[in-house]
Amino acid sequence: MNLSTAEMELFYKLHGSWLAFVNRELKIIPEDTPAQEIYQLPSEQLFRLRDVSYDQPDLLEHYLAANPDQFPPDELLIVAGWRYRVAGDFYIMRHLKKYSVLMSAEESPHLYGVMGLYDPLDVVIGGAPLPVLVKAVLMPFRDRITYDGFLRMYPILFGRGIRSTLNETYSQLKEREGIIESLVGPDGQPRIRTSLTRKTPARPTPDWRPVIEEIAAQTRKMRRAETRLQGAAFGLLRAAAGLARATLQEQGAEEEVARSIKAVRTALRKVERLLGEEEWPG
């Protein structure tokens, strides 16, 4: 869930250079702190410097034009990608093998797969139970997403209802649009890649309607049985065929599926009741 050590060191080198440039331009901190010492500043000063750097979008363009530390083009492209950073409040929803998944706390949320820097995010938040609400800035790093090393946790514990709502939104977003894994392309320009776009296209699903119709028709004929348990089992089979048939309808499916589920439950309870009454040869 982390960038490699070399990538982490590269990120801090570039970001430290950027913050030192901002300080030289705006004099946020009295001392002219060199880039290699920028992260030794007190946390309060670092947060203030970082916040001001994002409030001055033109400064990034000046930095890219000046390239004060003479970075090679491929490294400068990483900094150029920071134009498309995503800042705000996020819910940390999951810690997966590849990254942690953050969901933006906005009216139209999205999911982001975010990699840690020195430590994975589950360590950064001290193993707090999820979801956790944080303020963060997500940073493109080549074809992945990390954050700028500054994370503010809100001291909020969510009740069961809110957790359920957040988890439902997470599941819907993951199914509908996937997890955003990249914000920029190799040229430093916007290019969204999600967990859905890298999946192998699924083979077309066969049209099962003729098969289900035939099964449903055959089960409707199964009215005679040797025992009551057999009859109940045949009834369960008819109900299950009816449910499968209902799910294939294009219109009015929701009401029909609900009725079919009720029929399946009724038939299943009858089978369970008769199972307790039947005497089996032992």
Question: Which residue among 15, 46, 81 closes a domain?
Answer: 81
Q: Answer yes or no: is 234 within a domain.
A: yes
pLDDT of residue 200: 57
Taking 70 as the threshold, does the pLDDT of residue 105 lie above it?
Answer: yes
Does the global pTM surpass 0.85?
no
Sign of the C-alpha dihedral, residues 181, 186, 192, 196?
negative
Cβ(222)–Cβ(238) below 8 Å? yes
DSSP string, 3-63: --HHHHHHHHHHHHHHHHHHHHHH-SSSS---GGGGGGS-HHHHHHHHHHHHH-HHHHHHH
List the structure tokens of 68.
């004060």
Span 239-257, average pLDDT: 82
The H-or-E segment that residue 277 falls in is helix 253-277
Cβ(222)–Cβ(249) below 8 Å? no
Span 155-169, average pLDDT: 94
Q: Same domain for 68 and 129?
A: no
Cβ atoms within 10 Å, residue 152: 10
Span 105-132, average pLDDT: 95
Q: Same domain for 174 and 111?
A: yes
CA distance 114 to 120: 9
Cβ(179)–Cβ(138) below 8 Å? no
- The two beta strands, 144-147 and 179-184, are unpaired
Nearest to 38 by CA among 129, 186, 119, 148: 148
Residue 87 phi/psi, 5-degree rounding, is -115, 150
Question: Which residue among 144, 170, 194 closes a domain?
Answer: 194
Q: Answer yes or no: is 42 within a domain.
A: yes
The terminus-to-terminus CA distance of the chain in angstroms comes to 56
Q: Same domain for 73 and 121?
A: no
3-state DSSP: the chain helix, strand, coil percent, rounded to 5?
A: 50, 15, 35
Q: Answer yes or no: is 202 within a domain.
A: no
List the structure tokens of 116.
């840690």
Cβ atoms within 10 Å, residue 163: 15
Q: Which residues contact 271 (CB under 8 A, 6 or more apart)?
A: 229, 232, 233, 235, 236
**Structural domains counted in the chain:** 3
Task: Express each pLDDT in 191-228 by its tens digit.
Answer: 899 999 876 555 677 888 888 888 989 988 888 888 88
Q: Same domain for 138 and 186?
A: yes
Taking 60 as the threshold, does the pLDDT of residue 22 lie above it?
Answer: yes
Domain that holds residue 122: 82-194
Q: Answer yes or no: is 157 within a domain.
A: yes
pLDDT of residue 282: 46
Q: Same domain for 133 and 188?
A: yes
